[in-house]
């Protein structure tokens, strides 16, 4: 049975993680997004992916859930607007380093990195900076860090930037309002799931300022176009046609920047992972991982 574990990865950071499936299978490493805990990768999603021949590992990034919260003031609004963050503030590079150290500590070998939103950005940096760690990359509802693509729709800003309440039920309603705006098409939207995962996340951890430090990491790293061009792992870029938080131009720009990347536009999907799209996404993850195997075989033949 899966169970949460804590692993010290060094530099004062401890990461909470959980695994599904046979550890002897290739690992699909699931990286979640801004201010979002690993439980947003739903257990039945992880189990379905494990049934496709993967050892599935999900984890809390630093500053969320049960992993280490680094402390300190979050980025200020002027710093976020200008993208001029303090030197001591961490970046996506640091979060990718956390990830590769977790992979090493757990002895996972090369992984199939699957990242959603900010997790896609971390996966991109991981694949570019640590190519020996990443067999394949799936970047979901993410962008390149450019100011000109993948930015929120104007109508989403007031929900995204609104201060979150500290009381549990009010916090759940706050998140529900946000995802009614940025989530998937109405017939795909799962209000019960949003309520459930938000409530469970609140109960595991509620650090109202940590999300500001993570957002600072995204903006401190800036435009990653040059980084993306160095990725050699087979890559699938997934984006929803209804995403109002990271608009579809972000996914299109990501696929254009990564050599050989394939783009999957998912009709009706917003900035979430509704059950209706799981078969398409899980098939995409499996097919992209198979590309990595074929690529390795071609390299061996060429040698």
Pick the residue with more confidence: 41 or 75?
41
What are the helix (H) ranges across the chain?
43-50, 77-82, 92-106, 118-129, 157-160, 168-182, 191-204, 210-221, 225-228, 248-257, 278-302
What is the pTM (predicted TM-score) of this model? 0.94
The pLDDT value recorded for residue 294 is 59
Q: Show the domain range for 130.
A: 5-302
Number of structural domains in the chain? 1
CATH classification of the domain holding 93? 3.40.50.1820
State how far the Cα of 37 lies from the Cα of 45, in Å rounded to an integer.
Answer: 15
Indicate the Cα dihedral angle 265, 271, 275, 279, nearest 10°. 30
The pLDDT value recorded for residue 259 is 98
State how far the Cα of 287 lies from the Cα of 275, in Å rounded to an integer.
Answer: 19
pLDDT in tens, 27-69: 999 999 999 999 999 999 999 999 999 999 999 999 999 999 9
The pLDDT value recorded for residue 87 is 74
Q: What angle do CA 32, 33, 36 make, to 5 degrees?
A: 85
What integer best gives the mean pLDDT of the chain? 92
pLDDT in tens, 126-164: 999 999 999 999 999 999 999 999 999 888 878 777 888
What DSSP string runs through 54-84? -EEEEEPPTTSTTSPP--SPPPPHHHHHHT-
């Amino acid at each position: 049975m899966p169970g949460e574990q804590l692993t010290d990865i060094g530099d004062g950071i401890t990461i909470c993680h959980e695994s599904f499936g046979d550890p002897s299978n290739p690992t699909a490493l699931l990286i979640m997004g801004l201010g979002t805990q690993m439980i947003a990768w739903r257990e039945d999603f992880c189990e379905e992916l494990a049934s496709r021949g993967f050892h599935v590992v999900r984890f809390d990034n630093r500053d969320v859930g049960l992993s280490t919260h680094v402390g300190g003031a979050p980025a200020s609004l002027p710093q976020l607007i200008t993208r001029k963050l303090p030197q001591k503030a961490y970046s996506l590079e640091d979060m990718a380093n956390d990830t590769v150290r977790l992979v090493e500590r757990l002895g996972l070998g090369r992984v199939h990195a699957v990242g959603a939103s900010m997790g896609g950005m971390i996966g991109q940096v991981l694949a570019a900076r640590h190519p020996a760690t990443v067999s394949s990359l799936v970047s979901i509802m993410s962008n390149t860090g450019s100011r000109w693509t993948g930015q929120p729709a104007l109508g989403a800003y007031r929900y995204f930037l609104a201060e979150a309440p500290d009381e549990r039920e009010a916090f759940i309603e706050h998140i529900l309002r946000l995802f009614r705006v940025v989530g998937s098409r109405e017939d795909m939207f799962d209000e019960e799931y949003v309520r459930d995962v938000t409530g469970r996340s609140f109960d595991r951890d509620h650090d109202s300022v940590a999300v500001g430090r993570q957002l600072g990491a995204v903006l401190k790293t800036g435009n990653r176009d040059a980084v993306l061009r160095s990725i050699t792992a087979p890559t699938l870029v997934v984006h929803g046609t209804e995403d109002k938080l990271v608009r579809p131009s972000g996914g299109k720009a990501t696929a254009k920047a990564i050599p050989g990347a394939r783009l999957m536009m998912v009709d009706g999907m917003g900035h979430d992972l509704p059950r209706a799209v799981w078969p398409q996404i899980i098939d995409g993850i499996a097919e992209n991982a198979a590309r990595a195997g074929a690529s390795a075989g071609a390299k061996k033949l060429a040698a």
